Amino acid sequence: MDYNNILIIAVLFSFIIAFIFSMFGQGGGSVYSPLFILLGYSVLISTSTSLVLNLITSLSAGYVFYKNKMIDLKASFMFVPGIVIGAFAGGVMSKYFNTQVLLWLFVFFLVILGGKMIYTYWEKGASEEHKPAGLNFKLYALIVIFSIVVGFISGLLGIGGGILIVPFMTYVLKYPTKFAAGSSHLIISFSALAGIIGHASSHRMDYPLILSAGIAVLLGGYLGARFSLKIKPKMIKAGVGLLMWALSAQILIKLLASI
């Protein structure tokens, strides 16, 4: 298959991924990277391009959530310093770091937490209407530690981090799911940008792929975010859980193939 045909396939699937993942507060990096690798792009090109597409998707989808007042700016910016530091470091170290142990831990985490989020689809409880009034010092300290770790993983693996941020905001910080999804897009944009800078400082990037797929995810992210406003919160939680399981299966297959 020649380069042009591969590029067309990459653009088409990038649009679909952006549309689906933006509904759940995700940038889609967990799928972009494996997709490009399967299409024959190198790992470094795949992860760096994935971060750029994450940034575009998050900005596009985040605009829709912002217009509908579903982003907590104050809480979101608490994540920014740690996630920027972590993502930049992960991007710089991506070509040196052995990710095997990290990926095994990632699979375990995604399977457990994904199951918990899927379970909420049938769980009866209080309806989600209001975001918390404020966060105490302990929660802020936890946010800082969490954001550095998530940022590093994001920059290292070429993912935005929304797959971890949304569950953290809903279960630990007690935010309504749609607020968590909206705020996640803002946080991911900083994470992706820092990771991109880290990658760009250490290796060459594929700009034709970035430009073509970037236009596709800009449209897909915007449409997916608008559609998400019509979905019930418990469906969003279950959707995130299924995405976590899909990602864990994807990583597991890759790990088993390398044994």
Question: How confident is the model over 81-106, as a mean pLDDT?
Answer: 79
Question: How confident is the model over 208-232, as a mean pLDDT?
Answer: 86
pLDDT of residue 124: 59
Q: 215 pLDDT band (50/70/90 cuts)?
A: very high
Q: Residue 125: pLDDT above 60? A: no
pLDDT tens column, 152-185 = 888 877 776 777 888 899 888 888 877 888 898 8
| Longest Cα–Cα distance in the chain | 56
Show the tokens assigned to 88. 């930049």
Question: How confident is the model over 41-54, as a mean pLDDT?
Answer: 84
pLDDT of residue 233: 62
Q: 34 pLDDT band (50/70/90 cuts)?
A: confident
Show the tokens assigned to 74. 């104050």
Q: Is the pTM of this model over 0.85?
A: no
Question: How confident is the model over 124-128, as a mean pLDDT?
Answer: 52
Q: 242 pLDDT band (50/70/90 cuts)?
A: confident
Angle at which helices 233-257 and 29-38 cross, to 10°: 40
Beta carbons within 8 Å of 247's beta carbon, 6+ residues apart: 30, 31, 110, 163
Q: Residue 114: pLDDT above 70? A: yes
Show the tokens assigned to 115. 């199951």
Strands (E), the chain: none
Q: In the chain, where are the structural domains located?
A: 3-257
Q: How far apart are CA 84 and CA 155, in angstroms?
A: 9
Mean of the per-residue pLDDT values of the chain:
81
Q: How far apart are CA 143 and CA 163, in angstroms?
A: 15
Question: How confident is the model over 188-206, as a mean pLDDT?
Answer: 83
Question: How confident is the model over 193-218, as a mean pLDDT?
Answer: 86
Show the tokens assigned to 57. 């998707």
Residue 79, number of CB atoms within 10 A of its CB: 27
Q: Residue 128: pLDDT above 60? A: no
